Amino acid sequence: MDWKSRIRAACIVDGQALDDGVLEELSQHAAGVYEAARADGCSHDEAEQGVEALLADWRRHAPALRRRLQRPTVIEPSTGSVNLLAGIVQDARHGFRLLRREPVFSIVAILTIALGIGAATTLYSIVNSVLSRRQRSLGRWSAWWTTCGRAGVADARQPEIFLPHRQIRCAAAVPDPILVVRTTDNPSRHVPTLRSVVRDEAPTLALDSVMTMEERVMTNLAKPRLYAVVLAGFGAFAVAIAGVGLFGVLAYSVAQRVREIGVRTALGARPADIVRLVLRQTALIAVGATTIGLWLAFAAATSLSRFLYGVGPHDAVTFVAVGAVVVAVSAIACIVPARRAARVDPLRALRSL
């Protein structure tokens, strides 16, 4: 049934017909009325009579139905859980097409961010391992330490023998002896007693650098701790650089696509669709850069392991945490360009064609 033609013919007033959009809307209504009447058991003639009565009323109201504001059609994807996976696949394919269109830009963006991720992960992984070993070493020293020596915390335990001091006549044999005293209470209280005992027993010895074992360990670890803090700072800087770089890359990419976004908006794309379009490209860059960066970090940490002693270079928690932080930074870095893209005025964008 061609309701549209019949409504157009019925609703011409002063030589003017209704707009196509109004005709389409009224014809859909007429079709609904006809089908409802037929579903209620009416014959074709009876249903058509109901629609004819409707047409007569619309003819009387024709002046109020004329000239509607034309707006672009919104295209909605069909709903359903099956389509979620299909949507993700479609987004991924579209993202790859976008990246393939600008291969140099895509490679530079991914590698730059991957280097930032790799550097940050390597640094944090080693720093975390060193700092956690310090904690374990401190516990070990305070729990069952019985010998002393010039060994540092990172050195392996050497075999040692005890010799009475009085039997060592030659001062060159032990040029700088280290005296270790275990106390049952605060060792600082016993320093004066210790000085007088040493003075009585070995008058030629001068006590110097008197400190508790905790202070000794902390002093020993001061340098590696400083290195760790500095490296952690560099790591944070690398992550920040990666985030700023990603923001700049995305802002540039969106600026290059203003015309395309303007055309899409003119064709009915909603702001959410434009944001989704930008996020597609970002997700692929972030996933690609994170994968390459973590692989680089693993390789770099492995090659640095020969410079470390008693410390594993790969810290799983750090790898996962840095990956998660970079993904979060990527998401934040792309929101501003995405929202800016969604606000592109289609008229201004199209005028620049």
Partner 1 sequence: MGTSGLERELKRGSTEVLILALLENRRRHGYEIGRLIDERSEGAISFHVASLYPTLYRLEDRGLIDGRWVEKARQRRRRYYRLTPAGRKMLASQRTTWQTFFLALDRVAGIRHA
What are the residues binding partner 1 (CB under 8 A)? 21-22, 24-26, 28-29, 32-33, 36, 54, 57-58, 60-61, 64-65, 68-69, 71-78
CB closer to partner 1, 102 vs 273: 273
Residue 8 CB, nearest distance to partner 1 (Å)? 15
* Residue 26: closest CA among 41, 47, 10, 49: 10
How crowded is residue 245: how many other Cβ atoms within 10 Å of its Cβ?
18
CB closer to partner 1, 210 vs 263: 263
324 residue type, one letter: A
Asked if residue 348 lies in contact with residue 139, where contact means CB atoms within 8 angstroms, the answer is no
Distance of alpha carbon 136 from alpha carbon 44, whole angstroms: 89
CB closer to partner 1, 30 vs 284: 30
Residue 34 CB, nearest distance to partner 1 (Å)? 11
Asked if residue 239 lies in contact with residue 322, where contact means CB atoms within 8 angstroms, the answer is yes
Asked if residue 67 lies in contact with residue 19, where contact means CB atoms within 8 angstroms, the answer is yes
Tokens for 201? 């027993």
Residue 341 CB, nearest distance to partner 1 (Å)? 21
Distance of alpha carbon 245 from alpha carbon 293, whole angstroms: 15
CB closer to partner 1, 9 vs 244: 9
CB closer to partner 1, 71 vs 150: 71
* Residue 313: closest CA among 114, 127, 132: 127
Residue 259 CB, nearest distance to partner 1 (Å)? 24
Distance of alpha carbon 207 from alpha carbon 202, whole angstroms: 10
Residue 276 CB, nearest distance to partner 1 (Å)? 17
Q: What is the CA radius of gyration of the chain?
A: 39
CB closer to partner 1, 83 vs 193: 83
Within 267-306, residue ranges assigned H as helices are 271-304
Residue 58 CB, nearest distance to partner 1 (Å)? 5
